[in-house]
Structure 1
Amino acid sequence: MGLSILGSLTQVLPIEDESQVGHARRCVQRLAEQQGFDATDAGRAALLATELASNLLKHAGRGELHLRVLPNSGYSGLELIAIDRGAGFDLHHCLADGFSTGGTQGIGLGAIKRLADVFDVYADSRGAAVLARLYPRSSAACDLRWGASQHSLHHDPACGDAWYLAYDGQRISALVVDGLGHGELAERAAHAGTQAFAQAPFADPAQVLEAMHVNMQGTRGGAAAFAQYDNGALRFSGVGNIGAHLLAPGSSRGLASHPGIVGGQFRRVRPFDYADVHANLLVLYSDGLQSRWDLQQYPGLMHQHPALIAAVLHRDFCRGRDDVTVLVVALETLSG
């Protein structure tokens, strides 16, 4: 398997009244059609959007629907995440058809689970997040366990953060870049770094950083960190204030970056090697996210889909004064 995923902003649809349910349905159906979904699959996507958006109003009063295209080999999928700050709900009962906390028929979560190719949900007293991924039924899709939540400051169309994810057989390489500041000039710096990284994401870390450094010269420069995973071992390299953690049940390891600015000035960077990290979670994030998060405070969350983890971390720890990116990748053996 060889797959390269160039990062993109999360599309956010506010859901605060009934009229926005219809808008969400139309947006998702149009997005599905643009990705080559046939009429049946595009209709399935529209129905998922309707159920997710309606559930936000019924159970939380308001929330957001997050949309993302999922590139894959020869086809694309769609990701929908409904996220709110409501009181949560009893998952066991809500997944059963006929149970409702909102006085409705109670078919929402059950219908979503049946319609989606990948379904996951997390809820506690801070709110709920419901994930649905779907792929064209003709694609024989294999879902990859990664998730990203990326948002620009004040919904600016230009984002100073960028991310990139590459799969090559059993190898995984993940990058987050944060251009200095925000807006168009920061975006230019981040994209310059990403373009260089994409040329050889599995090359020697010193060579990768040097290529990024050269390509980011003449821009504002920025912070960058990347991790290369292969056969249970991980090699991490970072410059600047990109946060990075390896998570396993009951443990969290912070990954150290070196001081400096890529495209500006930094000392020679020594990569750090970590053995036996198979089945760990890798979390990379820009400084638009607070660093004080702890998944131990979210019982069971680290066992959920990485896309849910990224969305919940963004919801609860976004600083609100900078672009923000959270990239979560399951380090696991890939089939096919």
Structure 2
Amino acid sequence: MDPLTGTGWMTSPSAGDAIWLRAEEPSAAAGARRQAVRMAERLGFAGERLGQIQLAVTEAATNLAKHAVQGEILVRIVRTGEEAALELVCVDRGPGITDVPASRLDGHSTSGTLGLGLGSIERLADRTGMHSLPGAGTVLFAGFSRLGGRAAAAPGPPFAGLTRPIDGEEECGDAYAARLDGGTVYAMVCDGLGHGPMAARAAQEAVAAMREAVLPARPIDLLRLVHQRLGATRGGAVAVAAVDPAAGAVRFAGLGNVAGWIVGPDRRHGMISVPGIAGAKTRTLREHAYDLPRDAVVVLHSDGLTDKWDAAGRPGPSRDPLLIAADLLRSAGVRHDDRCVLAVTTAGRR
């Protein structure tokens, strides 16, 4: 199953299309570079463009190893329609960057890094984003198309997600799917019961149900489709949201402990799920409607992220949804479990 199945569609990458690497030692740069080259060559990257990816990955991993606490880098393939791109996501838990503009300047370096500055990554990539909070940590992402060139890069969809398997597993038991249809984003997160291949199968069946659904549709009807589809699996927790900025509304239906939030600049509002397991006998499903404030962000996440996070200090609603998802995974993804977060932005869409 392709991670992206057409314009306006996005789903979780398969296990072979994404790898998380620790970047806490100088040798981490070589390992991250090898993985990035392996995936980039699968997509047809070659020559100068492949060299640019190697340079960017080396700079990112070297900075994490030298300056960060618990630095990690995700290398993954993302697809949109018939096009595919390579994406890097870097996260750490401190110390943060006190002067973000200076860190973007070529030649800016401390402790003997390449001296290219994080600005070199921004220049080489088609799309980037960075958010840092002193004392807490930094997140950075960079996306690379095969041909390159920021001017030719099309705007991405108003949603992005991240998954990470529990330590020791290659497949993640959590998955997400999102689709933009007629101005409304339909977003789904499934947390398959347990971990490993069987949990991943349940989560991917939920994704398949979303792919096959006819839109527009009510979230409760989409949840019913997922519930029926998971009957032949071990089941899972599922949440579905329909985010309609033009109407200023979110409709939400959840079964189990996947969390749904409407996030404003300084506060967040939780959405209600009913207890149960999708794919097993459960109580009556319910759908709830909520007001959607202007420029709010809608977030769904599995219980691999704690729900005790604060809306303050996070990337603003006009930032890239991948940056918002990465920051939340970094700060709230502290539980020993599969992790998944999906962010839907609405800034400028009303």
CA contact (8 A) 2:305 2:329 kept: yes
Q: Does 1:121 align with 2:126?
A: no
Q: Which residue of 2 aligns with 1:173?
A: 186
Task: Identify if the C-alpha distance between structure 1 residues 103 and 47 changes in structure 2 by more than 3 Å, giving closer, same or farther.
Answer: closer
For 1:223 and 1:155, the matched residues in 2 are separated by 22
Aligned to 1:234: 250
Q: TM-score, normalised by structure 1?
A: 0.89
The answer as to whether partners of 1:53 and 1:65 remain within 8 angstroms in 2 is yes
The amino acid across from 1:133 in the alignment is G
1:169 shift after superposition? 4.5
**1:6 aligned to 2:11?**
yes
Q: Secondary structure at the match of 1:174?
A: strand
Instruction: Tell me which amino acid in the other structure corresponds to 1:24.
Output: A
Letter in 1 for 2:66: K
**1:77 is the counterpart of 2:85:** yes
Question: Counterpart in 2 of 1:87?
Answer: 95
Residue pair 1:236, 1:255 contacting (<8 A) in 2 also: yes
Relative distance call for 1:169 and 1:136 in structure 2 (3 A) is farther
Question: SS where residue 191 of structure 1 aligns?
Answer: helix
Tell me the alpha carbon deviations over residues 130-177 of structure 1, each in whole angstroms, 9 at most, x when there is no partner. Answer: 221222336643323433221122231232212111123523111001
2-structure distance, mates of 1:27, 1:181: 28
Counterparts in 2 of 1:62 and 1:162: CA distance versus 1, 3 Å: closer
Report the counterpart of residue 218 of structure 2 in structure 1: 204
Structure 1: give runs of 5+ residues left out of the alignment.
none
What is the 5 A alignment of 1:173-322? 173-200=186-213, 202-230=216-244, 231=246, 232-296=248-312, 298=313, 300=315, 303-322=318-337
**Deviating more after overlay: 104-113 vs 86-95:** 104-113
**1:38 positional shift:** 4.5
The 1:250–1:63 alpha-carbon spacing in structure 2 relative to 1, beyond 3 Å, is closer
Q: Distance in 1 between matches of 2:250 and 2:331?
A: 28
Opposite residue 255 of structure 1, the aligned amino acid is M
- TM-score, normalised with respect to structure 2: 0.86
Q: 8 Å contact 1:84–1:129 — kept in the other structure?
A: yes
Q: 1:180: how far off?
A: 1.9
CA–CA separation in structure 2 for the residues paired with 1:21 and 1:104: 11
What is the Cα deviation at residue 300 of structure 1? 4.7
1:133 corresponds to 2:143 = yes
Structure 2 unpaired stretches of 5+: 1-5
Coordinate RMSD, CA, aligned: 2.5
Identity of aligned residues (%): 36
Q: Displaced runs of 4+ in structure 1, greater than 6 A?
A: none
Tell me which residue corresponds to 2:63: 55
* SS of residue in 2 equivalent to 1:153: coil
Q: In the alignment, is the contact (CA less than 8 A) between 1:153 and 1:320 conserved in 2?
A: no
CA distance in 1, matches of 2:218, 2:270: 22
Residue-pair matches, total: 334
